[in-house]
Structure 1
């Protein structure tokens, strides 16, 4: 049995989160995310709306074939249609066919939505809520009732809004979830209204359903609103991983769960599961093909990053000086950022993170620091390109491996005009690279000069380093450093690479965008090969 301090986390990434603009999930994506959420210890995972589309139907079939280890998979749907009995509504039959023990049903709380949206009477809406829940209960299902547009409805017509909850209670709902569907309510309003609802429900029946909260982020307060509701008695929190969702998104579970567990003392998941939060947040961002938010609370790459020299020296002595929780509690890590604001403490701390033991008295330390400041003055940015800085540091210490040497390269670009007056570009790169004393000459085409150069280099190295096939470019950013110079301006290129398990960023700077790109791409490959070499050394 759950204790008073348990908060039931309900994830709706697969349904509400998938409504984010630009986000599209395949069946395999949904199954993989569900298994990651199960591993995280999420008790309720909303799988979608059976019958709304074939993909959701297939998802529930597949989950029945290969059940999750601990999570309840929940089907989602609306109340029956106006003027129709629940037993005769084919939409509800499709939901039953999904075979889930739990069903989340949403109904209208706001009289405006009833008359304008459903175009029915207020009394019929109450009947729809009660009848649908009673139907599911008669089929042996347990029901979570999502009171859609709850806060807007309650503020406009509290008497009717409470009647909708009463209908859900009479029908047999086990949870009453109050939804800030439009995301326009503020925390002080949420807290006050949840308090009033709790009093109403508890006065209505001794065996009152438990209260939940579902918030959207249109006012930037989704997480704060959910916390306000919990403080006033809500015991279920609905949200999505990384805050994905329609418009401005849903309450971000990656922020909510640590706040609830580490700050307010509630139990959401096991501590060992919470320690997987950062990994799962980033993994799901890869599955949905959206770049992770480096500045996200708790799980972002920069959440525990320290840049200023004073901060670094202080946090090295006592992390409490600049960290509100231990990074490892959420599976993150402390990072020392290198930039032109760095001092020796930054260099030493960064070296330790690379597994390099440097002595403060070693003159190489000051040489590295001075070289860093010189390069940043030229436009390099190492706080965003730690892989390049590690290569720089290892070179200064004589520890940088030399996998290959590029002797020269040539790039030829063609612009081809089509019949419909659209210009298409095609590039050919020729590169001469030396590996183990052997000169290799290769050529490759690409849809642009950087693509062609990357392809030619990989082609030349593949016979010597087949592991390059697993390295791929995941992001490419270009910034003009001095726009006043026009097309002669200095350009900074950041290239993010991955081997499927790790991500790293390298940097190049030049007045020639091709040269800047070449620097970043080459170092990205070098760093990937170095990681592979280090991994093989550990294994042997």
Structure 2
């Protein structure tokens, strides 16, 4: 009774999200990640829908999965077609997956107005398909589409569909809130009613149109459901599906259920970000459990309390889901915040220096800097205040020229003159824009002296107007995210000149990289 089986449909339902299109290699790579997480069932897609999904079911057989079972997905036989002659049903067999999930109608309105058939014929379509697949030794899950709406419309018919599916041999009956409009109390009442009338293992498949998919899933488990469907990060059609990145830790850490294998919970944050990256979607920083801000603390009182006891402002240990705690620096910071962020500099007893750092942070934030989003710039600030800053080069000047030529395309060229250990270096470079040209020219000048910079690349570049009422004369804040083989860090620059603000952030990013390398390897 303490075991909940997790069924992931990221590769099928998730791929139906607007703007998401997984390649074959993407799907295979995500499959491996889901298996490492310890997911019980991975829904791969429609075997007959397109060549990519057909290829997936061929290629996935070559993966050495340790735990997950692959499921193919399709509908019941068509109206008036013999099951053994139905192309969709046969495609499910040809996929050769151990698990087959079929979807069928359980809402009378959908049967009469969409399928254009009788209620009895719909039931036969469900049972015929299940009997056929079971006779071919498949584990069969039946997704009762629109079940909750169907129950509200015609209780007797909705129950008849799933009861007949159970009698036909379905291994799991999945109750689907397909339109995502049910409320948790409705889910609870209906699941209880179903349990009185159906002896099969029950599952839940909730959509998020009412922003309640997670709550509805948890409520269904409370009432006896033991099979949970969802997607990583909740991606899916319209408003998405139940987010397994929230459902799973709630089930495990709050309710005491066993879901994943091999300590998979600690890999949850990693796979969340992997799927975002693969799907080319922006991370939700405030996403519960796995978001980068899920355990971020900014207020001085909060940070002071967290240092004394983590449970004061954290409902779970961040490491339990593979995340980490963040202490943010801002004008709201107090001495406790500065101390927590500068432990390696041992400033505990230097109250004057702490006050000086805090005042500098507050002054910079007043000018428009945002150090909570640029911890590398904050560390450089502390190093300068404590005398532990090492300059690696001096700027003698830079120039950026943007020229529009006869072909109508703008050309940007940057020239940088720097001094490294009394050696002058002058370089020029073209780029797709002024920041790219500056970055390329600066790297070209420095890489001769510091080859480790070849490992570093710019990951993201963000510009924010600070005082928009000043229109084109407004100050801008530039935040640059950089990475190397091991770490990701952010830096900030502020100026009334976009190029100058970008230069500040670029230089901070490079200096932070060089300081890290210097301390690790003594450049």
TM-score tier, shorter chain, comes to over 0.9
Within the alignment, does 1:426 sit opposite 2:411 as a pair? yes
Contact 1:271 1:329 in 2 (8 A): no
Within the alignment, does 1:343 sit opposite 2:334 as a pair? yes
Q: 1:275-312 deviations in whole A, cap 9, x for unaligned? A: 22112212222222222211111111111111111111
Task: Give the alignment partner of residue 180 of structure 2, picking from 160, 179, 183.
Answer: 183
Aligned equivalents of 2:127 and 2:319: distance in 1? Answer: 46
TM-aligned CA distance change 1:168 to 1:536, over 3 Å? farther
Within the alignment, does 1:439 sit opposite 2:424 as a pair? yes
Q: 1:15-49 deviations in whole A, cap 9, x for unaligned? A: 11111111121111111111111111111111111
Q: 1:416-436 deviations in whole A, cap 9, x for unaligned? A: 576xxxx64331111123334
TM-aligned CA distance change 1:531 to 1:234, over 3 Å? farther
* Cα-Cα RMSD: 1.8
**Which residue does 2:373 correspond to in 1?**
384
Aligned equivalents of 2:420 and 2:93: distance in 1? Answer: 63
**Which residue does 1:8 correspond to in 2?**
5
Contact 1:478 1:492 in 2 (8 A): yes
**Which residue does 1:410 correspond to in 2?**
399
SS of the counterpart of 2:264? Answer: helix
Aligned equivalents of 1:296 and 1:216: distance in 2? Answer: 17
Aligned equivalents of 1:275 and 1:216: distance in 2? Answer: 26
Deviation of 1:119 after TM superposition, in Å, equals 2.2
Task: Give the alignment partner of residue 142 of structure 2, picking from 145, 161, 167.
Answer: 145
Contact 1:344 1:360 in 2 (8 A): no
Deviation of 1:404 after TM superposition, in Å, equals 3.1
**Which residue does 2:203 correspond to in 1?**
212
**Which residue does 2:306 correspond to in 1?**
315
**Which residue does 1:101 correspond to in 2?**
98
Contact 1:348 1:360 in 2 (8 A): no
Within the alignment, does 1:369 sit opposite 2:358 as a pair? yes
TM-aligned CA distance change 1:296 to 1:500, over 3 Å? farther
What are the ranges of 5 or more consecutive residues in structure 2 without an aligned counterpart? none
TM-aligned CA distance change 1:401 to 1:107, over 3 Å? farther
Task: Give the alignment partner of residue 289 of structure 1, picking from 271, 280, 287.
Answer: 280
Aligned equivalents of 2:455 and 2:109: distance in 1? Answer: 55
SS of the counterpart of 1:193? Answer: helix
TM-aligned CA distance change 1:343 to 1:214, over 3 Å? same
Contact 1:12 1:238 in 2 (8 A): yes
SS of the counterpart of 2:233? Answer: helix
**Which residue does 1:265 correspond to in 2?**
256
**Which residue does 1:35 correspond to in 2?**
32
**Which residue does 1:111 correspond to in 2?**
108
SS of the counterpart of 2:248? Answer: helix
SS of the counterpart of 1:276? Answer: helix
Aligned equivalents of 1:117 and 1:366: distance in 2? Answer: 70
Q: Pairwise mapping of residues 206-245 of structure 1 onto structure 2 (< 5 A)?
A: 208-245=199-236
Aligned equivalents of 1:424 and 1:217: distance in 2? Answer: 45
Within the alignment, does 1:136 sit opposite 2:125 as a pair? no
TM-aligned CA distance change 1:87 to 1:314, over 3 Å? same
Deviation of 1:345 after TM superposition, in Å, equals 0.4
Contact 1:74 1:103 in 2 (8 A): yes
**Which residue does 1:171 correspond to in 2?**
168
Aligned equivalents of 1:8 and 1:320: distance in 2? Answer: 30
TM-aligned CA distance change 1:509 to 1:131, over 3 Å? same
Task: Give the alignment partner of residue 514 of structure 1, picking from 499, 513, 522.
Answer: 499
Task: Give the alignment partner of residue 277 of structure 1, picking from 259, 268, 283.
Answer: 268
Aligned equivalents of 2:518 and 2:169: distance in 1? Answer: 61
> TM-score normalized by structure 2?
0.96
**Which residue does 1:50 correspond to in 2?**
47
Contact 2:143 2:173 in 1 (8 A): yes
**Which residue does 2:60 correspond to in 1?**
63
Q: 1:495-530 deviations in whole A, cap 9, x for unaligned? A: 122225532221110000111111112222333344
SS of the counterpart of 1:35? Answer: helix
Q: Pairwise mapping of residues 82-101 of structure 1 onto structure 2 (< 5 A)?
A: 82-101=79-98
> TM-score normalized by structure 1?
0.93
Aligned equivalents of 2:419 and 2:96: distance in 1? Answer: 62
TM-aligned CA distance change 1:499 to 1:22, over 3 Å? farther
Within the alignment, does 1:358 sit opposite 2:358 as a pair? no
Bigger mean CA deviation after superposition, 523-532 or 180-189: 523-532
**Which residue does 1:204 correspond to in 2?**
none
Contact 1:61 1:98 in 2 (8 A): yes
**Which residue does 1:477 correspond to in 2?**
462
Contact 2:463 2:479 in 1 (8 A): yes
What are the ranges of 5 or more consecutive residues in structure 1 without an aligned counterpart? 202-207
